[in-house]
Amino acid sequence: MAIFALADLHLSLSCPEKSMEVFGSSWGDYIDRVRENWVSLVTDSDTVLIPGDISWATYIDKAEEDFRFLSGLPGRKLLCRGNHDFWWTTIKKMEEFFASQGFNNIELVRTNVIEVEGCLISGTRGWMIESKESIDGSDNRKIYERERLRISMCVDELKKADPEHAKKHILMIHYPPITSNKSFTEYADLIAGGGVDICVYGHLHGTAHRKAFEGDYNGTRYVCASADYVGFRPEKIV
C-alpha cells in the first residue's frame, strides 16, 4: 500500500507520430519500459501520482488508447495537468469519459483533495519559474499569478481537510516550483508556508535535469519524478 510518482509519460499510443523516441536513445522503447517497470514495482493496492504530461492526444476522446494502457497498469492513478495535456477539459467531461470507458482506477486532481493511505493529496499545473524577470511584462505573468492562486487553493484545501495536520500533505505540480539554483522561490515559499510535506513535480527532460532540485526546502521534501529523470520507473515517495 505504497504511494509512487511518475510524471511525463507522454503516451503516444493514440498518436504514434508524436512518440518521444524522436528525442534520442534515452527515450527508446519508453512506453514498454514504463510498462515493465510499473508492473514490477506497483501492485493493485498501491497508488501512483502522475503530475502531468500524460498523453499527446489533443482531445479526450482521442486519448482512449493511452488511457486504456494507463488503466490496465496496476494500482490507483491520480492525475494532474501538464503543459502538453491539451486533451484536458472540464473535470465533469473527463470523469464522464473515464466512466464510459470503465477506467475506474483513474482520478483527477485539480485543487481538490484526495486521501490515500493516510496522506492528503492535492495538485495543480504550476508555471515556469526560470527567473522573476522571465515572467514580468508578458502574458507569462498572468498565467503565473493564476497558478499561484491555485497553489494557494491547494494549500487551503489541505488545511481544511486536516486542520491539525495529523496526516502527511502531498502536492502534485507539473512545473518545478523550485530549481537547483533556488534563485526564485515564490511558489516554494508558498508551498512551505502552507505546510506541504512532500511536493512531487516533473517537466524537466534531458539537459534540463541539471535544474532539478531534490531534498528539503523550508520543511518540504521535493521529488522530481520526470520519467526520463527516474529511468521510467515509478518513484516510491511514501
Among candidates 210, 219, 129, 112, which has minimal Cα distance to 175? 129
**Model-level pTM?**
0.96
CATH number of 3-236: 3.60.21.10
CB 77 within 8 A of CB 34: no
Q: What is the full per-residue pLDDT of the chain (238 aa) written as tens digits?
A: 899 999 999 999 988 988 898 888 899 999 999 999 999 999 999 999 999 999 999 999 999 999 999 999 999 999 999 999 999 999 999 999 999 999 999 999 999 999 998 999 999 999 988 666 677 766 788 899 999 999 999 999 999 999 999 999 999 999 999 999 998 899 999 999 999 999 999 999 999 999 999 999 999 999 999 999 999 999 999 9
Cell of 204: 524537466
d(CA 162, CA 107): 21
